[in-house]
Amino acid sequence: MATELGSAPVPPPGPEDHVTGPEEAPLAIEYADFECPFCAALSAKLASARLRLVFRHFPSRSSHPRAWAAACASEAAAAQGRFWEMHHLLFSDQGRLEDPHLWERARELGLDLERFERDRRTETARARVKRDFESGIRAGVVTTPTVFAGGRMHSGRIEIGALDGTGSSEMS
Amino acid sequence: MIEAGQPAPEFTLRREDGSEFTRADLEGSTTVLVFYPFAFSRVCTDQLNLYDDVLDELEAKGATLYGVSCDAPYSQTAFREKLGVRIEQLSDFEPKGAVCRAFGAYHEGGFPQRALVIVGPDGVVKWSYEAPSPAELPGANLIFDGLAAGGD
């Protein structure tokens, strides 16, 4: 059965999603790439926003050679319960995403290094990232970051006010 | 814009190596033609990067995707190599835009309209799409919708 990539609505948050923020806060579903500078900039803004944030992978293989490796590393950290910590560490230093830099971060988080190294190369991690990417393609994501919030798709230079309903300032 | 059910027109484009790519090259397999305005421009860069990421899935569906612009083959090759994408490029350089016009995908500003055309193995257009403006990047999902709309 070939992969189905035709149009479909963005999937609601599920048990396998990476979710943070208060349950009652406005929902924002983000598609992002750890090597994308605009994603890092948005991530810094999102850190202090009052949102129920869902993070989904949308790594661009052609424009960001280390995006897939970084995404799989975050999944390997997630397997040890440290997804968001790894998410922050990846976005905080995008110039350093080679293997030794990923190990450094795993060490910093106190992860079981052997397990981390094994997990990030598994088909499970790859399939997990791919599932997010495909749901993004089906929902019409064409660039990162893209955030679904308030019944709209936001992309480009995203202002928090456009996501949490406190303002409508947005540039694309 | 050419529409579903219409036969693809006779045309001659140039491959990156300078050889001809004509209507006869469409026959026998499904072809996705991606008309894009300018090599090296921002949206076209994002577009080819995005489509390159789903090339394997397109191939699994038996479809071959090409980029078409009025840039010269040398420029297209440089663009493809800069992006690091696999999408083969077809040039509509001389007479400029003749093939884009034949498909109804020529922008009066002097460049290809951002448009997608799927041609079936029988040389008949299965689906076409013109972006509302050249600045809008059609999602890759639309290509898969188009392939499904064609009935196989």
Tell me how close the Cα of B51 comes to any Cα of chain A, in angstroms: 9
Could you list the residue range(s) of the whole structural domain that residue A40 is in? 18-164
* pLDDT reading at B150 higher than 70: no
- Give the residue from chain B lying closest to A1, CA to CA: B60
CB B31 within 8 A of CB B116: no
| The two structure tokens encoding residue B11 | 């045309």
Helix and strand tally (H, E) in chain B? 5, 9
* pLDDT reading at A2 higher than 80: no
CB A149 within 8 A of CB A139: no
Using an 8 Å CB-CB cutoff, list chain A residues near B67: none
Q: Could you read off the pLDDT of A136-146 as tens digits, one per residue?
A: 999 999 999 99
* pLDDT reading at A103 higher than 80: yes
Looking at the predicted complex, does its ipTM rise above 0.95? no
The residue among B13, B82, B21, B92 whose CA lies nearest residue B52 is: B82
Kindly state whether residue A169 falls inside one of the protein's structural domains: no
**Annotated domain spans of chain B:** 12-149
The domain spanning residue A133 has which CATH number? Answer: 3.40.30.10
CB B2 within 8 A of CB B125: yes
| The two structure tokens encoding residue A115 | 């397990």
Question: b/e map of A21-57 (b: 16 or more CB within 10 Å)?
Answer: beeeebbbbbbbbbbbebbbebbeebeebebbbbbbb
pTM of the model as a whole: 0.93
AA letter at A103: W
Q: Could you read off the pLDDT of B70-117 as tens digits, one per residue?
A: 999 999 999 999 999 999 999 999 999 999 999 999 999 999 999 999
Kindly state whether residue A9 falls inside one of the protein's structural domains: no
Count: domains in chain A: 1
The residue among A75, A83, A166 whose CA lies nearest residue A126 is: A75
Tell me which fold the domain B12-149 belongs to.
Glutaredoxin (3.40.30)
Using an 8 Å CB-CB cutoff, list chain A residues near B133: none
